[in-house]
């Protein structure tokens, strides 16, 4: 994997999560990433916990393996330095609000004129065309406006950790850049990619969108099996106030779960209308009779589709995670969540540390 994008040069002007995570994934595949920061550095350095050296842990994590160069893009010298770098780059990622690059004298038309093969990926909150271009927002705003928060949560809308829109935006940006690099082989020219974080939620709910388009169905809270309406896809509390998840969606798995629970009569009830309040209550009563450990032992058969609800420390200590080798200790002692794929039978390599910043 670390050789797939060898020779690809990326300038990353973005900050915080979406752009830096996108360029990190591309660096995992072998791209050379030069992160361009303002003279004071990426504000992400001051956000979140510290590492052993007192540095911003989130910043160090998102920028592992990258070289850091600090440039004042508001100065003539800084602008010229960036243009010189862009002429030799394959990809430029930026995360400013629409219009900022133009005000800096680094607009798309100029960049493409100076570097016709350059792929420019602009990541903003609401995109560079349409409404709400200058509106500020974060992950919860995007989820709320996309119709996701409305149907999730039992008592009221809830949002998520990790941030769904930010992380999905990173993935879509990386995918689009890879496609653009491939497309450039045929055309010989770069392109511009306009990605709004508020937009990335819709393709994640394409099934619900299709259902609305066909049937005008608007999913409410606990009205689908995906958001708590079904007994066979549900969180249950154990006697000792721990939780397990039942994910027995397919009939054969629900049958195995029901038989193991000692209630074969539940099998025929899987197709009861949603929300399945009575069936959920019946299953909850049985699960509540077990301790956490007893429940996991009772439903240890793989085809019961029962999983423990683990805290992060428990998840990191699980034998399954250890066997996949996708979370590993770096030489500096830091714990890294690596690219989640094995290639040719081998897990991904540990990322090198961030190269300390220099100023141009």
Residues in the chain: 360
Q: Is position 220 within any domain?
A: no
Q: Are residues 65 and 188 in the same domain?
A: yes
| Six token digits for residue 72 | 């004042």
User: CA–CA separation, 142 vs 98, rounded Å?
Assistant: 17
133 and 248 part of one domain = no
| Helix, coil or strand: residue 80 | helix
Residue 67 in domain: yes
Same domain, 253 and 197: no
> Which CATH number characterizes residue 87's domain?
3.40.50.10540
pTM: 0.93
**Domain containing 296: what range?**
225-309
Q: Are residues 13 and 146 in the same domain?
A: yes
Quick check: is 209 in a domain?
no
Distances (CA, A) of 224 to 47, 170, 207, 217: 37, 28, 12, 11
Number of domains in the chain: 2
The angle formed by the CA atoms of residues 36, 201 and 321, to the nearest 5 degrees, is 75
Same domain, 112 and 172: yes
Question: Tens-of-pLDDT digits for all 360 residues of the chain?
Answer: 999 999 999 999 999 999 999 999 999 999 999 999 999 999 999 999 999 889 999 999 999 999 999 999 999 999 999 999 999 999 999 999 999 999 999 999 999 999 999 999 999 999 998 888 788 888 999 999 999 999 988 888 888 899 999 999 999 999 999 999 999 999 999 999 999 999 999 999 999 999 999 999 998 888 899 999 999 999 999 999 999 999 999 999 999 999 999 999 999 999 999 999 999 999 999 999 999 999 999 999 999 999 999 999 999 999 999 999 999 999 888 999 999 999 999 999 999 999 887 887
Does any domain span residue 92?
yes
> Helix or strand or coil: residue 20?
helix
* Rounded Cα distance, 19 and 3, in Å: 21
Q: Is the domain of 194 the same as that of 254?
A: no
- For residues 198 and 271, membership in a common domain is answered with no
Contacts of 50 (CB under 8 A, 6+ apart): 56, 57
Note whether residue 68 is domain-resident: yes
Catalytic residues: 138, 166
The radius of gyration computed from the CA coordinates of the chain, to the nearest angstrom, equals 24
Residue 249 maps to a domain: yes
Domain shared by 36 and 132, yes or no: yes
Q: Domain of 291: which CATH number?
A: 3.30.1540.10
Indicate whether 149 and 289 sit together in one domain.
no
For residue 120, report the phi and psi dihedrals to the nearest 5 degrees: -110, 120
Is 215 within the bounds of a domain?
no
The Cα 300–Cα 79 span in angstroms is 61
Residue 239 shares a structural domain with residue 197: no
Reading across the β-sheet that carries 306-308, which strands appear in turn?
233-237, 243-247, 306-308
One domain, residues 96 and 190: yes
Regarding whether 194 and 230 lie in a shared domain, the answer is no
Is the CB of residue 245 less than 8 Å from the CB of residue 235? yes
């Amino acid at each position: 994997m670390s050789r797939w994008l060898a020779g690809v040069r990326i300038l990353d002007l973005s900050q915080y999560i979406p752009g830096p995570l996108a360029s990190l994934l591309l660096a995992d595949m072998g791209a050379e990433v030069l992160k361009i920061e303002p003279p004071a550095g990426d504000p992400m350095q001051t956000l979140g916990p510290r590492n052993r050296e007192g540095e911003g842990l989130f910043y160090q994590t998102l920028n592992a393996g990258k070289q850091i160069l600090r440039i004042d893009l508001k100065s003539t010298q800084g602008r010229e330095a960036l243009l010189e770098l862009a002429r030799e780059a394959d990809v430029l990622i930026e995360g400013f609000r629409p219009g900022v690059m133009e005000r800096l004298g680094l607009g798309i038309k100029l960049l493409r004129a100076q570097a016709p093969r350059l792929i420019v990926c602009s990541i903003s909150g609401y995109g560079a065309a349409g409404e709400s271009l200058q509106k500020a927002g974060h992950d919860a705003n995007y989820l709320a406006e996309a119709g996701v928060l409305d149907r999730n949560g039992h008592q009221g809308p809830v949002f998520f950790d990790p941030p769904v829109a930010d992380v999905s935006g990173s993935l879509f940006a990386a995918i689009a850049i890879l496609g653009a690099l491939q497309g450039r082989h045929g055309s010989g020219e770069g392109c511009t990619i306009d990605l709004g974080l508020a937009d990335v939620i819709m393709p994640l709910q394409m099934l619900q969108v299709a259902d609305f388009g066909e049937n005008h169905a608007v999913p409410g809270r606990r009205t689908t099996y995906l958001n708590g309406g079904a007994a066979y896809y549900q969180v249950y509390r154990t006697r000792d106030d721990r939780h397990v998840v039942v994910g027995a969606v397919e009939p054969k798995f629900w049958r195995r779960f029901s038989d193991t629970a000692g209630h074969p009569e539940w099998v025929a009830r899987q197709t009861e209308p949603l929300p399945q309040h009575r069936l959920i209550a019946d299953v909850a009563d049985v699960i509540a009779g077990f301790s956490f450990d007893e429940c996991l032992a009772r439903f240890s058969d793989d085809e019961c589709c029962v999983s423990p609800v683990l805290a992060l420390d428990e998840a990191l200590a699980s034998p399954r995670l250890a066997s996949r080798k996708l979370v590993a200790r770096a030489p500096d002692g830091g714990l890294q969540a690596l690219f989640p794929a094995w290639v040719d039978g081998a897990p991904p390599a540990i990322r090198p540390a961030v190269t300390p910043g220099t100023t141009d």
